[in-house]
Amino acid sequence: MNRSSPARTRQAAAAPRRGRESATARMERAARIAARLAEAYPEASCSLDFASPFQLLVATILSAQCTDKRVNAVTGPLFTRWPTPEALAAARQRDLEAVIRSTGFFRAKARNILGCCQTLVDRHGGEVPGTLEELVKLPGVGRKTANVVLGSAFGMAAGVVVDTHVGRISRRLGLTRHTDAVRAERDLVKVVPRDHWIAFSHRLIEHGRGVCSARAPHCPGCPLEELCPRVGVVARRPRPGG
């Protein structure tokens, strides 16, 4: 008869199978996950370069389907040429497209940025509003962009930013089952302590880049190892002769 090792037994107890965990237990585990991430990545922060809420708003719109590194390379010249919402609202679309072309989907992004800046000028006196309700009414701004701006520019915990890394790892951790970002966020705000909402996303992103990759997560030694049910992770087969 095969017996499980003590380590595997403890791991199974700490990370119950998907669907067998009570709401209270999930909240307790999520709190422990948030605390572990804070210990592992105490300096994690927004990786987009910005000097004002306006700059972060535009940078976040540009970040859709694009790396933050590429966005940062583009926003320097962009804000030198158009430093304010008023200046950018008056830009010609073809000129803006030429500057942001390398970020992908540049025509749609240019339209959204111009429309967003025009709305800021017309309805908000050129200032970025500080509420979720007002932000999501701006062209090109959804909950993710609004949460990024509120959290990183205003320090307001209005929700949890769910990007590709955050959604993927949250599903792997068994904190949500949803691939839709809005539904995943609803699950996360129910279990992640509110005082971790802003940093939680930054820390998961860093964790995803360095440890919990999509195809080959480095589970041994992971700070979340005994808290993670590894949903969707396929065990590697040993190599012949290994």
The alpha-carbon radius of gyration of the chain (Å, integer) is 21
Dist. CA 91–CA 222, nearest whole Å: 48
Nearest to 160 by CA among 169, 151, 168: 151
Annotation says 163 is catalytic: yes
Burial readout 25-34 (b: 16 or more C-beta within 10 A, e: otherwise): ebbebbeebb
Dist. CA 116–CA 77, nearest whole Å: 19
Annotated catalytic residue within 144, 187, 190, 195? 144
Asked whether the beta carbons of 55 and 128 are under 8 A apart, the reply is no
Annotated catalytic residue within 163, 187, 190, 195? 163
Dist. CA 28–CA 224, nearest whole Å: 14
Q: How many CB atoms lie under 10 A from the CB of residue 42? A: 9
Q: Which residues are catalytic?
A: 144, 163
